[in-house]
Amino acid sequence: MAGRIEKVVVPLLPRIEVFELGVACEVFGSDRSGEGLPTYDFSLVAGSAEPVSTSFGYSIDVPYDLARLDDADLIIVPPGGTTSGSLTDPEFVRNGGADAAYLEPLFERLRAAVDRGASVASLCTGAFVLGAAGILNGRRCTTHWRYADRLAEMYPSARVDRDVLYVDDEPVLTSAGTAASVDLSLHIVRTAQGAQVANTIARGMVVPPHRDGGQAQYVATPLPECTDDSIAPLLDWITENLHRDLSVTVLAEHAHMSSRTFARRFTDEAGTTPARWIRDQRVLAAQQLLENTDLPIDVVADRVGFGTAPVLRQHFLRLRRTTPQAYRRTFRSAESAPVE
């Protein structure tokens, strides 16, 4: 962060997503002066002259006053769209037209803010607004994992990181999906005003002041749908016997096939090799034990078939972009968490 934050402005586009907007309002718009925390000059403005509708159908009455962006220290862009559609639609880039034209005054001010060194942050798919404004060109950025490939397709000069919770490519900052808006907002506060301020705000919001890892730990990995009756029951058996030797030779014998036929059939049906699929299922099983038990990490590793804690850590980092210990701290269930 290039200095302290005093003035924070949030431009709202039609079809605004209210959760991310609420995060910006909670972190930067709440008066915490009674707790000895800084109070920001915080305001919402319409990002275009059109009425500001929400994704849930009601409208928000805010002034169309883009001039407030001109001296803002921080501009936060929540996800929104246009009166005719979504900015995540590739047609917006291909056709341009009226939507791009009426948003150009906002885009121009966003570019000017970056040029003068003010921080511009997007929340979730608000990254598409920054992309349309041309300020992601050549920059590392992120967005919700569901839309990361689309962002990269629509703005090929942007360097999209699909796994992280947020990216700080000062002065442009971007967050991943929905709740990662909290992570980025607290990161901005922590960088500009210090850890104590950020931790106090987090405590009041009843959220972690910092989460480890990236979006990968929130992406479900369900069992693949298999049409072959000889493979589907085997997948169930594997998930119930992850602690065993599950080499291709063993599995092929269990399926009454040659090793070569089994490996080919498995890859065709499951979309990946037996070894990789089993490693991923072992990580999923480890997640459940980390969330719901007090078992030491090495015991968890043994029970899911990884054998040792270092091997579990290696595959956990690969698939979930965080360590088993950090995952347990974040996702520990209320039933298993120790009483303090």
Give the rounded percent of residues in the chain with a pLDDT score beyond 70: 89
Q: Are the C-beta atoms of residues 197 and 37 closer than 8 Å to each other?
A: yes
Spatial distance between the Cα atoms of 210 and 215, rounded to a whole number of angstroms:
14
Coil, strand or helix: which one is 111? helix
Q: Does residue 337 lie in a domain region?
A: no
**What pLDDT shows up at residue 224?**
52
Enumerate residues 6+ apart whose C-beta is below 8 A from 130. 77, 110, 120, 122, 136, 141, 172, 174
Average pLDDT over residues 268-282: 85
pLDDT(332) > 50: yes
161 and 271 inside one domain: no
Q: Does residue 285 lie in a domain region?
A: yes
Q: Does residue 253 lie in a domain region?
A: yes
Average pLDDT over residues 257-276: 86
Residue 84 confidence class, pLDDT cut points 50, 70, 90: confident
**What pLDDT shows up at residue 98?**
65
246 and 211 inside one domain: no
Spatial distance between the Cα atoms of 68 and 66, rounded to a whole number of angstroms:
5
Identify the CATH number of the domain in which residue 250 sits.
1.10.10.60
Sign of CA dihedral 112, 114, 118, 120: positive
**What pLDDT shows up at residue 86?**
87
239 and 210 inside one domain: no
259 and 116 inside one domain: no
116 and 250 inside one domain: no
Domain's final residue, options 193, 216, 239: 216
Residue 198 confidence class, pLDDT cut points 50, 70, 90: confident
**What pLDDT shows up at residue 336?**
41
pLDDT(3) > 80: no
Q: Are the C-beta atoms of residues 139 and 111 closer than 8 Å to each other?
A: no
Tens digits of per-residue pLDDT, 4-26? Answer: 799 999 999 999 999 999 999 99
Q: Which residue has the higher pLDDT, 108 or 272?
A: 108
Residue 339 confidence class, pLDDT cut points 50, 70, 90: very low
Q: Are the C-beta atoms of residues 118 and 110 closer than 8 Å to each other?
A: no
161 and 292 inside one domain: no
Note down the domain range covering 66: 7-216
Enumerate residues 6+ apart whose C-beta is below 8 A from 58. none
184 and 309 inside one domain: no
Task: Count the domains in the chain.
Answer: 2
Dihedral of CA atoms 219, 316, 260, 244 in degrees, nearest 10, equals -110
248 and 148 inside one domain: no
Domain's final residue, options 163, 192, 216: 216
Spatial distance between the Cα atoms of 298 and 14, rounded to a whole number of angstroms:
51
Question: What letter would DSSP give residue 81?
Answer: B
Range name among 65-69, 241-245, 247-251, 320-324 with the lowest pLDDT average: 320-324
pTM score of the predicted model: 0.68
Domain's final residue, options 216, 235, 270: 216
